[in-house]
Amino acid sequence: MPTGKILLSSLGWNTAPIWSRWTASNQISDISALSRLTNLERLGLGGNQIGDIKPLVSNSGLSKGDVVYLVGNPLSSTSTNVYIPQLKKRGVKMYYW
C-alpha cells in the first residue's frame, strides 16, 4: 500500500464508468478526480485524510438518492458547514462525523 499523500488517480479510478466505490482507510487526501465521475451513486471514503470535499459539490452527477460516506475524515469547517449542506439540498445522503 502506498504511503503519504494518495491521489485517486493513482488508484486507477480514471477509467470506465463507476457507479459505486468504497475506499476506506487508505490515507486519501485529494479527491479532485471525483468531480468528473458523474455516474457515482455510492461513495465510501471513511477513515481517510480528506479535508476538502468541494470536488463532490462540483460533481453534477451527485443527486437525490446518492450516498456519500465520509465518517472519520478531518473535514474542514467549509466542508461541513457549506459543502455538505449543498449536497444534502441536492438530495445526497451524507454520512460524516
Tally of structural domains, the chain: 1
Cell of 2: 502506498
CA–CA separation, 19 and 21 (whole Å):
7
Is 14 among the domain residues?
Answer: yes
What is the per-residue pLDDT for 30? 94
**CATH number of the CATH domain containing 13:** 3.80.10.10
Q: What is the mean pLDDT of residues 23-29?
A: 79
Is 1 among the domain residues?
Answer: no
Is 53 among the domain residues?
Answer: yes
**Per-residue pLDDT tens digits for 38-73:** 888 899 899 999 999 999 999 999 999 999 999 999
More confident residue, 48 or 20: 48
Is 59 among the domain residues?
Answer: yes
Is 68 among the domain residues?
Answer: yes
Residue 7 has pLDDT above 70, yes or no: no
Range of the domain at 19: 6-95
For the chain, how far is it from start to end, CA to CA, in angstroms? Answer: 26
Residue of 35, 74, 39, 36 lying closest to 55 (CA atoms): 35
pTM of the entire predicted model: 0.78
